[in-house]
Amino acid sequence: MRPNKIGQVAKFHRPLPDEIPNQLYIVTEIFLANERLDSDIKALNTDLSLPPVNNVKLEDLEIVEIDTADFVEYNLTINKADYSQAKGKVVVLSVQKIILDFSNGVKGL
């Protein structure tokens, strides 16, 4: 499925030979350019303090499901639908895979 809003985590559905096939990106902007939808993306999990923002065709990306096991033992803050927040260390998760949405909310990302 193609990303359709800012904040979604995506990867290239057909990476080039010199690219890391499982590299994840966050969609930072979607816009119309030259009569096609383009997007700005920023690489996740790089060792760079300021990862570069790349402009790519939206049709080259696909949304990625994230394995929730990666969050166990991490301290997280979750913004809930009623604008309250839940904070704490992740101990157990009931859902194995999710589609993350890093949208801006009232109280943060």
pLDDT tens per residue across span 49-76? 888 899 999 999 999 988 888 778 878 8
Of 108, 97, 34, nearest in space to 68 by CA: 97
Here the contacts of 51-56 (C-beta below 8 Å, separation 24 or greater) are 53/28, 54/25, 56/12
Cα gap 74→88, rounded to integer Å: 8
Report pTM: 0.73
pLDDT at 108: 58
